Every structure is written in C-alpha cells, then in structure tokens.
C-alpha cells in the first residue's frame, strides 16, 4: 500500500459503510484495528483516516454496540439495531489512548480493547504493558482512565507470540 492511498479516508469510509450495511440482514460488522500511526505496515492504520472514517460513520447515524450488549441481543433473540457495529482494538498499543480514544470520546462511540498483558507480576499504575515489536504500549493508568469513560477490555494473549513462527512444543 503506498503512502498516498494510506492517507485517503474515502476508501475506509466506503468499505466501512458497505460492511455496516450488512447489519440490516442480521449480521453485525466488527471493525478491528491494531496500531494507529502513519507507518506502512500490516497492522498500522492512519490516525487521520481513522478520525475521518469515524466522523463520517457518526454523521451517517452509525452507533457502536458494546460486546455485552451483543450478548444481550443474542440471548433475547432480538435483531441488532440498524446502523450498529462494533469497534475492537488489539494488543493495547499506546496509540489507542493517544489517537483512538479521543476520537471515540468525541463521537460518543465505545470499543473493546484486547490487551496483551505479559507475565503475572506486581505492577504500578504507571507501568506499561510489555512492548510488542519495540512499540510503546498502554499504561495501567491509561487503561483505567479509558475504562472509567466507557471503554471495555478483554484478554488477547499473555505475551503475543508471532504465531507463524511460534515454537511448537509437543
């Protein structure tokens, strides 16, 4: 993907709005992101494009559902509301707090962040999650702030091995 297409928000909105239109037939779109930055990588997404796409979805009347709400709808056998979708963010990169969280707050949207927390050890609120590929991760203080403002959290993995190359133990 070249830099020019990476910065163009129109393909994101077109893709997202087509995917979100599927919710009227009983499915529920889930938009999944990892790291919001301007690097050209498989897990990076431009913060500017993210902001523009979320703004356009909001302007078009789309609303996010929390995962607990989805369970309720399914258990009660109710259809999902029109123009609803889910946002998930994997790993717990610091850009989630710096770039995604303010946008979600601005447009009244929720998300679930699936964290990679590392080995069980005592930690302070200022400690950050273990780095993945040298990247800066969320701190427990940032996690608590987002949680207090309506962002949900779940478990992703303990140490996020690079799965295609993870050792196989018999």
pTM of the model: 0.76
Q: Which ranges of the chain does DSSP label H, i.e. alpha helix?
A: 3-7, 9-21, 47-59, 67-76, 94-95, 101-106, 140-148
Instruction: Give the residue with greater pLDDT, 33 vs 91.
Output: 33
Handedness of CA 159, 148, 73, 83 (dihedral sign): negative
Instruction: Give the residue with greater pLDDT, 36 vs 43.
Output: 36
Rounded-to-integer distance, Cα 90 and Cα 17, Å: 22
Q: How many CB atoms sit inside 10 A of residue 136's CB?
A: 15
Question: Which of 86, 95, 88, 91 is closest to 118 using CA atoms?
Answer: 91
| Helices 9-21 and 47-59: angle between axes, nearest 10 degrees | 40
Give the phi and the psi of residue 32 in degrees, each rounded to 5. Answer: -115, 135
Domain spanning 3-126+151-159: which superfamily? Glycoside hydrolase/deacetylase (3.20.20.370)
The domain spans of the chain are 3-126+151-159
**pLDDT score of 18:** 57
- pLDDT one-digit tens code per residue, 60-87: 999 999 998 998 988 888 999 999 999 9
Paired residues of 31 in beta bridges: 87
**pLDDT score of 124:** 60
- CB of 84 closer than 8 Å to CB of 29: no
Question: Which of 91, 106, 100 is closest to 138 using CA atoms?
Answer: 91
Mean pLDDT along residues 141-159: 85
Q: Which ranges of 90-136 does DSSP label H, i.e. alpha helix?
A: 94-95, 101-106
């Amino acid at each position: 993907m070249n830099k020019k297409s990476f910065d163009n928000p129109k393909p994101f909105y077109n893709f997202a709005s087509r995917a979100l239109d599927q919710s009227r037939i009983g499915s529920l779109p889930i938009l999944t992101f990892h790291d919001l930055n301007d690097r050209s990588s498989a897990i990076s997404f431009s913060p500017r494009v993210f902001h523009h796409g979320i703004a356009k979805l909001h302007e078009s009347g789309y609303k996010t559902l929390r995962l607990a709400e989805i369970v309720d709808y399914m258990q009660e056998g109710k259809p999902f509301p029109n123009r609803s979708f889910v946002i998930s963010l994997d790993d717990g990169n610091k850009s989630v707090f710096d770039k995604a969280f303010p946008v979600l707050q601005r447009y009244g949207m929720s998300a679930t962040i699936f964290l990679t927390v590392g080995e069980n050890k005592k930690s302070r609120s200022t400690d950050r999650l273990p780095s993945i590929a040298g990247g800066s991760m969320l701190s427990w203080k940032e996690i608590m702030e987002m949680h207090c403002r309506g962002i949900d959290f779940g478990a992703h993995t303990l140490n996020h091995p690079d799965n295609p190359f993870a050792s196989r133990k018999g």
